[in-house]
Every structure is written in C-alpha cells, then in structure tokens.
Structure 1
Amino acid sequence: MAGHSKWSNIKHRKGAQDAKRGKLFMKLAREIFMAAKQGGGDQDTNPALRLAVDKARSNNMPKDNIDRAIKKATGDLDGVNYEEYTYEGYGPGGVAVMVKVLTDNKNRTAADVRHAFNKNEGNLGENGCVAFMFNRSGYLVIDRSTTDADEEEMMLEAIEAGAEEMETTEEQFEIYTNPESFSEVKEVLESRGYEFKTSEVTMIPETYTELEEEGVEKMLKLIDMLEDNDDVQEVYHNLDADESILENLS
C-alpha cells in the first residue's frame, strides 16, 4: 500500500471547493438515508449508519438534517427512494475511474455519467473493468499540527489500535485499516485524544497512472464534472500527478 499519500493529495484537493454546503449536505443526507434504509435507524447496531453520520458531523452538517434523513429512510417521513450503483471506466491517459452514485432515476444518472466521460476524453466501461485495481480500506488522517506525537509514537499508537499501515507526510499522518475494523480503530484513537481531518472507508488504488500537466488538467475536469453531479457520491481514481503540476493548475 506504499505511496498512497500521492493519491490523497489529489483526492483532497477538492475538499476546499466542496464548501458548496448545500450540495455537500444533500450528498451526505443521501448516504445517511441509504445506510439507515439498509441497516435500520439505530447507530449502535448499524455501523454503516454510524460511519455516515460521523462523516456528516465532520463536515458540520446540522443535526436536524441528519435526523431528517434517518426518519425518511425508516418511514417516519415521506421521501424518495434511492438506489446505489457504481460505474467504471477510464479517464484521459488511461486513468482508472470508479463512480459511486445514489439516484432515484438510473437512466438519467447513467446518461449524465457517460456524458462526463465522453466530454473529457474518457470511456465508460463494463462493471469490473477497473474495480480489480482498487482495495476497499479504512482511511484516517491526523493533522500533525493537532498533536505532539512524533512519527514513531503515532505508528505505535496506530498499530496498537489495530491499524494495518501508516504513512507520514510533512503535514499529516495517514492511517489505513481493514474496513471491518475501521470503526474500532477510530474509536480507540479518539479515546486517546486524537482528532481526524478525514475519516472514511474508501477505495485505494493498487497502482497509479502518471500523467503530464495536460493530461492531469483533463482528468481534473472529468473529476470536477462528475462531482458536480448531484447523484454522484464518490469518485475514485488512480491518477498520479506531481505536486508542482497540481499547484500550477489550482
């Protein structure tokens, strides 16, 4: 799993832009809705719901919004019915892309996703065409400015909590876990006073596709177009781009 920090640099480039609160809250509400619909509205017995709520809270989503999404899912409030789908394909330069959606209209969403790929020199493929290039993993990020722990101390804490691996950059500690033990690792580290910049179960690429600046720019346009779609929850990819290129394009 070495080298994943280059993935996170690109993935979290979008974080500042996602201050479009209305759109972000709607996507988080859908995620909560699906988790509650599939596993019930009790966070104590539904780990997926607990994870979705934690993610919403970390993005400052109001409690009323969270409660309303759960009530819609459990039938206490009227609401639309969402279905979950994953689309796979290749972006510019052969970058592997997975798109997770929650939609109440599959035909509309499929057409929109295909249009985004076609417009940005990509190709939508069959299910399974790139999934094998990714591993599902728990991912926790601790900003180094929020803790006095050094790399060795943080590594020991993470391993003791049950993490599988940790990477260190100048700015942060990146901790990877088995998806099934993610909540437990997170809770143990939280009990020891650590705060998380990011905490999620996500898809991590096994290999990366490196592009020059022109290709990176095209790929980022595809990512932006997909993420601007209200039905798209997550965009996973294996783009590798030099920091200087990302800074230049931003």
Structure 2
Amino acid sequence: MAGHSKWSNIKHRKQSNDLKKSKLFSKLANDIRVSVGNSKLDINSNVKLKKTVDKALSNNMSKDVINNIISSLDTASQIKNVYSATGDNGVSIIMECLDYNKNRIIGEIRYVLNQYNMALVPFKSIEYTYFKIDKISLNSDYNDRLLFYYLDELFLKDVFSNSIYSNIDLSKDLFSLLKVLDIGFEVCKILYPKNVIKLDCNNSNKFCNMIIELEKLPYIANIFSNFLKKL
C-alpha cells in the first residue's frame, strides 16, 4: 500500500504541475497577444512584445509555440469588444479588448471600475467625444528640419518625439510624404479626446491607478482616456 500511495502521490503531483503549466502557458499566450495590441508584430521594434516573449522563454515556452502565436496575429482582427466608462469630474475611458469570455470581461472590468466610482456606459454614448486618428511611429533615421518643414506645410502640429498624430483625412498625404523622404514608419489607429479634462494631483493619481489596474487584465489591448494632470 505504501508503494501504491507513493506512486499515486507522484502521479497527482505531476497532474497538478501539468495543470499549473497549462494555466501559465495560457496566460503567457494571452500576454503575447496583448503585447502586440495595435503595435508592431516585429519583436525587434516592439519593446513590450520583446519583454513578454523573454518572459515566456524564461518559463520554458518553446520558440516554435511563441512564433506560431505571433504569426497567427492579425492585429486589427484581434480587437473584438469595445467598452467605455464614465466617472467623476467628467472623466471617460474607452477600452479595446481581445476576443475573450464576454461575461468574465464585464465582471472583472466592472469590479475595477467600482473601486474608482466609474460605471460602464454604452460606447455610442461617448464615442462622439473622441476623434479617430492615426498614430504614425517613425524610425529614428530622419532629417528633423526637413520633415518638420513639410509637416508644417500639411498643418500637422501634433508631433511628439518620433510619433505623429494625424487626422485620418490627412494621413494619405502624410504617407506619400514619408515615402518620398524615404522615412520608415508604422501606423495604428487610436482614439483621441476632443476635450481634455485637467485634474488636480489627487484625482489624476486616482484615475492613473485605475488604468494601471485595468491594464493588468490580460484581454485589454488598449485604453484611451480624456484626462490630464494640471500643471
């Protein structure tokens, strides 16, 4: 009986370890999908994806499995659900989520929102308060003065570091310009608030903490908000 009990215990431990490994790999696979979000599939240019892949490798997920996950991703088709919420001081957020269990998504998002006095609302009710724009990420190899001269000609003022935020109607001209200047770039579509709410330090920290909590949820790919901290 002792021998039987010993091997039975080993079997149960192995089953338990296999279950834990399966859950871990499932979470890592979700993390990889979220890391892609609306960004680049190239691991060398997507820092968030690289960190997630390194974590998966350190947990013994094989390179073949990781490559299969990445190669199967079509970023645009990954976004399946959009949720929005409003709260104190006119703050609103919009969350783009990957395909997942809808009931679980709503339950877990609502749990976080309730802690910050935020409530889910129909997306259509706040969609009109955001612009749909293109975020164009440039490579670092370009002539600043020449590029900014042409951007000024296109009346594009929202330029930060190596990213340009462009009205979708102007993007076609901008893409043509970048190709003529031989500047490499990547494009993703984002939501930008028409009116920005400026919050004091306490409220700003409060809502920033909320976004940090929401970003921990494995199926949330992107979060857009309408608030900034007062200077």
TM-score bin, normalised by smaller chain: 0.5 to 0.7
Structure 2 CA distance for partners of 1:232 and 1:112, relative to 1, 3 Å: same
| 3-state SS of 1:130 partner | helix
Instruction: Say whether residues 1:192 and 2:181 are aligned partners.
Output: yes
Query: Any residues of structure 2 matched to 1:161-172 within 5 Å, and which?
Result: 165-168=156-159, 172=161
Q: Aligned AA for 1:216?
A: S
Instruction: Say whether residues 1:241 and 2:229 are aligned partners.
Output: yes
Following the alignment from structure 2 to structure 1, what is the Cα–Cα distance between the partners of residues 69 and 180?
Answer: 29
Structure 2 CA distance for partners of 1:228 and 1:89, relative to 1, 3 Å: same
For 2:113, the equivalent position in structure 1 comes to 117
For 1:176, the equivalent position in structure 2 comes to 165
Following the alignment from structure 2 to structure 1, what is the Cα–Cα distance between the partners of residues 67 and 149?
Answer: 35
Instruction: Say whether residues 1:90 and 2:86 are aligned partners.
Output: yes
For 1:219, the equivalent position in structure 2 comes to 207
For 2:148, the equivalent position in structure 1 comes to 155
Following the alignment from structure 1 to structure 2, what is the Cα–Cα distance between the partners of residues 105 and 92?
Answer: 29
Structure 2 residue runs without a partner (length 5+): 1-27, 51-62
CA displacement at 1:200 relative to structure 2: 2.2
| Counterpart selection for 1:126 from 96, 106, 122 | 122
> Deviations 1:196-243 (Å, cap 9, x if unpaired)?
6x8421001100111100000111011111111101011011112135
Structure 1 residue runs without a partner (length 5+): 1-20, 32-50, 74-80, 244-250
Q: Aligned AA for 1:201?
A: K
CA displacement at 1:109 relative to structure 2: 0.4
Q: Aligned AA for 1:87?
A: Y
CA displacement at 1:127 relative to structure 2: 2.7
| 3-state SS of 1:175 partner | strand
Q: TM-score, normalised by structure 1?
A: 0.59
For 1:205, the equivalent position in structure 2 comes to 193
| Bigger radius of gyration among the two | 2
CA displacement at 1:140 relative to structure 2: 2.3
Following the alignment from structure 2 to structure 1, what is the Cα–Cα distance between the partners of residues 70 and 178?
Answer: 28
Which sits farther off after the overlay, 94-103 or 83-92? 83-92
Q: Aligned AA for 1:139?
A: K
Following the alignment from structure 2 to structure 1, what is the Cα–Cα distance between the partners of residues 33 and 200?
Answer: 34
Query: Any residues of structure 2 matched to 1:91-110 within 5 Å, and which?
Result: 91-110=87-106
Structure 2 CA distance for partners of 1:103 and 1:132, relative to 1, 3 Å: same
Q: Percent identity?
A: 16
For 2:25, the equivalent position in structure 1 comes to none
Following the alignment from structure 1 to structure 2, what is the Cα–Cα distance between the partners of residues 175 and 82?
Answer: 24
Following the alignment from structure 1 to structure 2, what is the Cα–Cα distance between the partners of residues 53 and 173?
Answer: 15
Q: Is the 8 A contact 2:81 2:96 kept in 1?
A: yes
> Deviations 1:83-133 (Å, cap 9, x if unpaired)?
711111114432111111113200000111111111122122123221111
Following the alignment from structure 1 to structure 2, what is the Cα–Cα distance between the partners of residues 133 and 186?
Answer: 26
| 3-state SS of 1:224 partner | helix
| Counterpart selection for 2:46 from 59, 65, 72 | 59
Which sits farther off after the overlay, 216-225 or 88-97? 88-97
Q: TM-score, normalised by structure 2?
A: 0.64
Q: Is the 8 A contact 2:196 2:228 kept in 1?
A: yes
Runs of 4+ in 1 over 6 A off after TM superposition: none
Q: Aligned AA for 1:95?
A: V
CA RMSD of aligned residues (A): 3.8
Following the alignment from structure 1 to structure 2, what is the Cα–Cα distance between the partners of residues 155 and 72?
Answer: 34
Q: Aligned AA for 1:155?
A: F
Instruction: Say whether residues 1:228 and 2:216 are aligned partners.
Output: yes
